[in-house]
Amino acid sequence: MMRKFILESALFLTLVIITCYFILLRANGKSDHFYLHFTSPRQHSLILGNSRSAQGIQPVVLNEILSRNDIYNYSFTIGTSPYGPVYLKSVKKKLDHKTKDGIFILSVDPWSISSNSKDPNDPGQFKEKEQYVGKTHFVNMNPNFLYLFNSYGKSFYQLLPRQKSSITLHDDGWLEVKIKQDSASMQKRLERKIKLYREKNLKKYKFSYVRLDYLKETINYLKHYGNVYLVRLPVHPRIQEIDEELVPGFNEKMRMVSESTGAPYLDMSYLGDSLQFTDGNHIYRESVKGVSARIGEWIASHND
Partner 1 sequence: MTLNVILPVGISFYTFHGLSYVLDLYNDRIKPERNFVNYAVFVSFFPLLVAGPIERATHLLPQIIKKREFNYMKAVDGFRQILWGLFKKMVIADNCAIYANDIFNHSSGYPGSTLILGAVFFAFQIYCDFSGYSDIAIGTARLFGIDLLRNFAFPYFARDIAEFWRRWHISLTTWFRDYLYIPLGGSRGGKWMSVRNTFIVFLVSGFWHGANWTFIVWGFLNALYFLPLLLLHKNRQNIEIAAKGKMLPSFKELSGMVITFALTLFAWIFFRAKDLRHAFDIFSEIFSASLFTVPRFKGDENVFILALLIAFFFILEWIGREEQYAIARLGKGWAKPLRWAVYYGIAMIIFLFAGKEQTFIYFQF
DSSP result, 65-115: HTT-S-EEE----TTT-SSSHHHHHHHHHHB-TT-SSEEEEEE--GGGGEE
> Are residues 209 and 121 in contact, defined by beta-carbon separation less than 8 angstroms?
yes
Is 2 a binding residue for partner 1 by CB under 8 A? The answer is: yes
Is 163 a binding residue for partner 1 by CB under 8 A? The answer is: no
Site string for partner 1, 114-153 (x = CB under 8 A): ---------------------------------------x
Site stretch for partner 1 (CB under 8 A), options 3-11, 112-120, 165-173, 248-256:
3-11
Q: Choose between 16 and 300: whose C-beta lies nearer to partner 1.
A: 16
The residue from 7, 10, 18, 19 that contacts partner 1 (CB under 8 A) is 19
Q: Which of 22, 104, 28 is nearest to 66 (CA)?
A: 104
Count of residues in contact with partner 1, rule CB under 8 A = 18
| Apex 67 CA angle, 178 and 255, nearest 5 | 75
The residue from 137, 154, 178, 224 that contacts partner 1 (CB under 8 A) is 154
Q: Choose between 162 and 302: whose C-beta lies nearer to partner 1.
A: 162
CA dihedral 177, 179, 182, 188 (to 10 degrees): -90
How near is the Cβ of 147 to partner 1 at its closest, in Å? Answer: 15
Is 184 a binding residue for partner 1 by CB under 8 A? The answer is: no
Is 12 a binding residue for partner 1 by CB under 8 A? The answer is: yes
The residue from 7, 15, 18, 25 that contacts partner 1 (CB under 8 A) is 15
The residue from 18, 20, 25, 300 that contacts partner 1 (CB under 8 A) is 20
Q: Choose between 21 and 209: whose C-beta lies nearer to partner 1.
A: 21
The residue from 157, 163, 182, 303 that contacts partner 1 (CB under 8 A) is 157
> Are residues 240 and 199 in contact, defined by beta-carbon separation less than 8 angstroms?
no
How near is the Cβ of 23 to partner 1 at its closest, in Å? Answer: 7
> Are residues 34 and 76 in contact, defined by beta-carbon separation less than 8 angstroms?
yes
How near is the Cβ of 146 to partner 1 at its closest, in Å? Answer: 15
Length of the chain: 304
The residue from 98, 118, 124, 155 that contacts partner 1 (CB under 8 A) is 155
CB neighbour list of residue 236: distance below 8 Å, 6 or more residues apart: 190, 272, 277, 280, 281
Burial class (CB in 10 A: 0-12, 13-18, 19+), 199: exposed
Q: Choose between 152 and 250: whose C-beta lies nearer to partner 1.
A: 152
> Are residues 194 and 239 in contact, defined by beta-carbon separation less than 8 angstroms?
yes
Q: CA 43, CA 262: separation in Å to the nearest integer? A: 23
User: Given the rule CB under 8 A, which residues bind partner 1?
Assistant: 1-2, 4-5, 8-9, 12, 15-16, 19-20, 23, 153-157, 160
